[in-house]
């Protein structure tokens, strides 16, 4: 009888371990890119419908690519009331706007569109006069929020594309944690949030940073384990335009000049406690340049950053700020 009892216990332990080691993988297209969510579930719960619902709600709130979204209606001055998702992203954007001295600015949308990097195709030929005329709409300090109501000048255009994807990563992560999921990785277009470990491999979540290859090829610059943190990457090596003189224009616009940012930084990866903040800072650092990035990170020890840039000889170099990836 004792042997039977022992065998039963061993069987239960084996079965329990096996169930604990099951990873659920759900992926698909979203936000013009992809999503890939992996999580460990004892009961093999599939949250595909819940993810789709979350993505629908966030798109309905903040997608400039949907004409009936709240942000599109707000930009057309058809509504002034927004949902709580919008409020959270708005407040985080205000914080980033202040701490980056206006480098991160969601009101840059009209200029992004004018340079043909945004949700709307440019209607007019772009020249210095046109750029100057559009700059008057820039300035997130001109936009107010009282409760759930937005106050903005006529013609101002809000664009949360530089932070909303990271926010969506956090919402999916928070949902999984509400279901007592302790081990997961959320990936939306390269914006990541990791919790616990990959139970299938019993190791941390392996992530990588790509080299900035302009020819479209893929190679890895760094590989490490990400645990209980979020990471976002901003790069200029995929989304750019070349004029008839061979000049390359990055998609990140300088809020002060109205022109694409002139920087030798090709890729910025930021690790933070949540992906929304990592996403916003990655975009800001990309635009502000190396020296300002160093100063910023000195005052934000909670952030880690990894920059890939070209030196004066057009050689690829890297810069590690605040011990990027160490301890993750």
Report the run of H or E that residue 265 belongs to, with start and end: strand 265-272
CA-to-CA distance for 24 and 22, rounded, in angstroms?
7
Tens digits of pLDDT across the chain (328 residues): 444 433 343 334 444 444 455 899 999 999 999 999 999 998 889 999 999 999 999 999 999 999 999 999 999 999 999 999 999 999 999 999 999 999 999 998 778 777 667 666 766 677 778 777 777 888 999 999 999 999 999 989 999 999 999 999 999 999 999 999 999 999 999 999 999 999 988 889 999 998 877 666 677 888 999 999 999 998 765 555 555 555 555 567 777 777 776 677 889 999 999 999 999 999 999 888 899 999 999 999 999 999 998 888 878 899 999 999 866 6
Domain boundaries, the chain: 23-321
Of 64, 78, 45, 148, the closest CA to residue 108 belongs to 64
For 23-321, which CATH superfamily applies? ApbE-like domains (3.10.520.10)
CA-to-CA distance for 226 and 42, rounded, in angstroms?
23
Q: What is the pTM of this model?
A: 0.86
Burial of residue 50, with CB atoms counted within 10 A of its CB: 0-12 exposed, 13-18 middle, 19 or more buried: middle
**Spatial contact of 140 and 147, defined as CB atoms under 8 Å apart:** no
Return the bridge partners of 220, or none: 210
């Amino acid at each position: 009888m004792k042997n039977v009892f022992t065998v039963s216990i061993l069987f239960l332990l084996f079965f329990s371990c096996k169930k604990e080691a099951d990873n659920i993988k759900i992926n698909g297209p979203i936000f013009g890119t992809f999503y890939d969510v992996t999580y460990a579930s004892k009961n093999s719960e599939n949250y595909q419908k819940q993810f789709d619902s979350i993505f629908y709600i966030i798109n309905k709130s903040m997608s400039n690519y949907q004409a009936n979204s709240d942000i599109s209606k707000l930009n057309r001055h058809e509504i002034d009331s927004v949902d709580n998702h919008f409020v959270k992203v708005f407040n985080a954007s205000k914080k980033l706007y202040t701490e980056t001295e206006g480098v991160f600015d969601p009101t840059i949308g009209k200029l992004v569109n004018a340079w043909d990097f945004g949700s709307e195709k440019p209607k007019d030929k772009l020249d210095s006069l046109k750029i100057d005329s559009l700059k008057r709409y820039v300035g997130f300090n001109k936009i107010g929020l009282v409760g759930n109501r937005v106050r903005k000048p006529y013609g101002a255009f809000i664009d949360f594309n530089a932070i909303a994807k990271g926010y969506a990563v956090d919402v999916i992560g928070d949902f999984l944690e509400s279901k007592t999921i302790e081990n997961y990785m959320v990936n939306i277009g390269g914006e990541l949030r990791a919790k616990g470990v990959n139970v299938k491999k019993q190791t941390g979540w392996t992530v990588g940073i790509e080299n900035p290859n302009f020819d479209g090829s893929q190679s890895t610059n760094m590989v490490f384990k990400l645990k209980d943190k979020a990471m976002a990457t901003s790069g200029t090596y995929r989304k750019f335009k070349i004029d008839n003189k061979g000049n390359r224009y990055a998609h990140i616009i300088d809020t002060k000049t109205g022109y694409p940012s002139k920087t030798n930084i090709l890729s910025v990866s930021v690790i933070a406690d949540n992906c929304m903040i990592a996403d916003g800072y990655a975009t800001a650092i990309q635009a502000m340049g190396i020296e300002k990035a160093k100063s910023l990170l000195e005052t934000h020890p909670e952030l880690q950053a990894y920059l890939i840039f070209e030196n004066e000889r057009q050689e690829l170099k890297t810069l590690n700020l605040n011990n990027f990836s160490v301890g993750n």
